[in-house]
Structure 1
């Protein structure tokens, strides 16, 4: 089993080849090939390589499939005894990627 821990858009995600992932918005067009270089950990058949902070010789190739927006998060604020109620909503922009290959 091969996997890697990658820093994408400020969050750390465990990636495996041949799987789909929804990550924070990446400004590239659907169909574009992208490459992730900030690999923090790489594991292949039980052998681990840990970066300090990143591994230089590991590259992850992925394809942008589409852009989408996540589920709505409602925020409701109430200030007691002031008759002040505020309701807001937020939908995060996401990018769906397909990991093709993890090469060492």
Structure 2
């Protein structure tokens, strides 16, 4: 069945599907030092599509949840920041990699029922 959900996590909106992994920064409910296979439940669901039915939340759906587990921590691509001082003819290069959390979606629930089992 063609079902997906749009969730609000880490200050961004992600389109998640069952069985796929996703990366999120600022993962609020879990500490960054958590171990793998930690179960998570995300209640900030903005939209759920199941077949031809679409359910919108205002701002979130009250009876919806996306359940999954954390796979591991990872890093984002390195951001390079270069500052050039034109009159001094010098430059300074800085860079950092943002901490990310990789999680996999196990199920999408709406109204207490698992969407892929119904």
Q: 68-77 or 52-61: which moved more?
A: 68-77
In structure 2, the residue matched to 1:98 is: 104
The answer to whether the aligner puts 1:89 opposite 2:95 as a matched pair is yes
Shift >4 Å, 4+ stretches: none
Q: TM-score, normalised by structure 1?
A: 0.93
RMSD of Structure 2 on Structure 1 (CA): 1.1
In structure 1, the residue matched to 2:18 is: 17
In structure 2, the residue matched to 1:40 is: 46
2:80 corresponds, among 57, 74, 82, to: 74
**Which whole-Å CA distance do the structure 1 matches of 2:42 and 2:54 have between them?**
18
* More strand per residue: 1
CA contact (8 A) 1:25 1:67 kept: no
Unaligned runs of 5+ in 2: 111-118
Q: TM-score, normalised by structure 2?
A: 0.83
In structure 2, the residue matched to 1:5 is: 6
**Which whole-Å CA distance do the structure 2 matches of 1:3 and 1:89 have between them?**
35
